[in-house]
Amino acid sequence: MNAIRDIDSLVDPTHDELARQGFVSRLRKHVMKDVADTMRDAYDNAVMPSFVTTHGREPETGEEVRDAISNNLTYRVWSSLRYNAQEMVWESVREEVERQLPDMISIADQASHSNSHGGSLTLDPELAMPDYVDTMDVHLMPGCWQDEHAEGDVAQGAIYAHGGQVFRGSLLPSKTRSGVAASVSKWLSIRYPEFKPEKILETGCTIGNNLFPYKDIYPDAELTGVDVAAPCLRYANARAVARGVDAHFSQQNAETLDFTDNSFDLVVSSFFFHELSVEATKRVLAECRRVLKPGGMMVHMELPPSSQVDAYYNFFLDWDNEHNNEPHYRDFRSRECADLMASAGFSADEYFTASIPDVGGADPAYFRQVALGEAEPPKHGIYTSWGLFGAVKAA
Ligand SMILES: C[S@@+](CC[C@H](N)C(=O)[O-])C[C@H]1O[C@@H](n2cnc3c(N)ncnc32)[C@H](O)[C@@H]1O
């Protein structure tokens, strides 16, 4: 029996806090589905015909859609509700986290001195934060990933853990998805049955949500997560210790990893690159290539490049660029993954893309067929399917 309590379980919302969180989750769903559908009608029936009258053609880019729709009342209601719902996500968990923070910090501290799980936490207080992290509250999360206000602070990790559940609606009864890592690891095990990674690295691991599940498919693998944010890494490490997962967490900038060449069999990330400047993305990809063993594999989950979806969906996705403190979002999506990979030294033979269903929501037979290339892969749909790009490093 492990002596360290699960840091996730410390949060104990009051009746009113739970009610508020449920409301915010439902508000987000309402905004992203019902109000979004009404906005689409407004676009199809008013905004787009007016654009065609003026320009003699339909909008061709997300920016043209954005400019055309920006004064439409339904858009303004949707955008305002979406922005406010995003702020309410974090606010809805703030008080419960603040209440438990001293105990959380104490648990994380105990975990940082424990080696019962075979893992480790290595922090670098001198690490310089990249501008794209340091100069804004990404996702409108106050304090972003890295702010610290107490010795051994874990608040940002806790806010992300619990706010993330509100954001995804995980507290609502209808959850039928397993997430990126569960889906990617299952996909790898079907598509590449001979591939048995011994050392797995995640860049931008935050609190380990999409690192831990690799243990379910590859129980003997050693997990390593790097991130620039100490509060998130302390939180991730506390979770690992409580779960008995031998994961190593290290505070590093993924643009300049301190691992030796050819260290890992598998390098992964999720929801990561669109937050980086494109130049930083190229440096991280080059580092991934450097630390991968020959024959090793790299798999990144990301949003679809703008060339793969229509102008309206580009407008819809790129809303975050202006309104969610993700200023590199559009620039990242405007690049072809193949070009980014080439700039990092990967050859066309090594590179691949894939779209896979979420393993929790999909029929297992369909999931398997997609993995084996025997069924049509799903179209992009955040949380129901995952867009991947990656490479098998030449042996
Ligand atoms: C959207 S979160 C990633 C979420 C996480 N992969 C998951 O699936 O839950 C982005 C993370 O990347 C980290 N990050 C941003 N730039 C980084 C860099 N250059 N090196 C390492 N981590 C970075 C941030 O601190 C943050 O924790």
Q: What is the pLDDT of residue 283?
A: 97
Q: Is 303 in the pocket of ligand 1 (CB under 6 A)?
A: no
User: pLDDT tens, 259-311?
Assistant: 999 999 999 999 999 999 999 999 999 999 999 999 999 999 999 999 999 99
Q: Is the pLDDT of residue 209 over 80?
A: yes
50, 62, 72, 321 from 67: Cα distances, Å: 12, 9, 10, 14
CA pair distance 150, 122, nearest whole angstrom: 18
Q: Is 182 in the pocket of ligand 1 (CB under 6 A)?
A: no
- In angstroms, what is the span from residue 334 Cα to ligand 1's centroid? 20
Measured distance between the N- and C-terminal CA atoms of the chain, rounded to whole angstroms: 43
Strand 385-392 and strand 292-301: pairing?
A: antiparallel
Q: What is the pLDDT of residue 1?
A: 44
What's the average model confidence in pLDDT over 37-66?
A: 98
* Confidence band for 316, pLDDT divided at 50, 70 and 90: very high
Q: What is the pLDDT of residue 266?
A: 98
What's the average model confidence in pLDDT over 353-360?
A: 94
CA angle 85, 90, 93 (to 5 degrees): 120
- In angstroms, what is the span from residue 264 Cα to ligand 1's centroid? 19
- From the CA of 232, give the closest atom in ligand 1: 27
CA pair distance 393, 347, nearest whole angstrom: 9
Q: What is the pLDDT of residue 224?
A: 98
Q: What is the pLDDT of residue 200?
A: 98
Number of Cβ within a 10 Å radius of residue 372: 11
Residue count of the chain: 395
Three-class SS of residue 331?
helix
Q: How many CA atoms lie within 13 A of 387 on its CB side?
A: 16
Nearest to 382 by CA among 121, 225, 169: 169
Number of Cβ within a 10 Å radius of residue 222: 18
Residue type, 153: D
DSSP state of 244: T
Three-class SS of residue 324?
coil
Three-class SS of residue 76?
helix
20, 39, 212, 344 from 87: Cα distances, Å: 13, 21, 28, 36
Residue labelled with tokens 């602070």: 153
* Confidence band for 175, pLDDT divided at 50, 70 and 90: low
User: pLDDT tens, 59-113?
Assistant: 999 999 999 999 999 999 999 999 999 999 999 999 999 999 999 999 999 999 9
Three-class SS of residue 140?
helix
User: pLDDT tens, 129-154?
Assistant: 999 999 999 999 999 999 999 999 99
Three-class SS of residue 351?
strand
User: Residue 210 in contact with residue 179, Cβ under 8 Å?
Assistant: yes
* Confidence band for 328, pLDDT divided at 50, 70 and 90: very high
Residue labelled with tokens 């049509």: 376
pTM, entire model: 0.95
Q: Is the pLDDT of residue 364 over 70?
A: yes
- From the CA of 145, give the closest atom in ligand 1: 25
Task: Determine what percent of the chain is predicted with pLDDT higher than 90.
Answer: 93
- In angstroms, what is the span from residue 203 Cα to ligand 1's centroid? 7
Nearest to 96 by CA among 32, 8, 182: 8
Candidate of 90, 184, 228 to mutate for ligand 1, largest count of ligand atoms within 8 Å of Cβ: 228
Three-class SS of residue 276?
coil
26, 60, 140, 260, 315 from 33: Cα distances, Å: 10, 24, 21, 46, 15
Q: Which helix (H) or strand (E) holds 232?
A: helix 230-243
- From the CA of 138, give the closest atom in ligand 1: 1
Q: Is 228 in the pocket of ligand 1 (CB under 6 A)?
A: yes
Q: What is the pLDDT of residue 174?
A: 56
On average, the pLDDT of the chain sits at 95
What's the average model confidence in pLDDT over 178-206?
A: 97
Q: Is 223 in the pocket of ligand 1 (CB under 6 A)?
A: no
Q: What is the pLDDT of residue 142?
A: 96
Domains and CATH numbers, the chain: 1-395 (3.40.50.150)
Q: What is the pLDDT of residue 13?
A: 95
Q: Is the pLDDT of residue 320 over 60?
A: yes
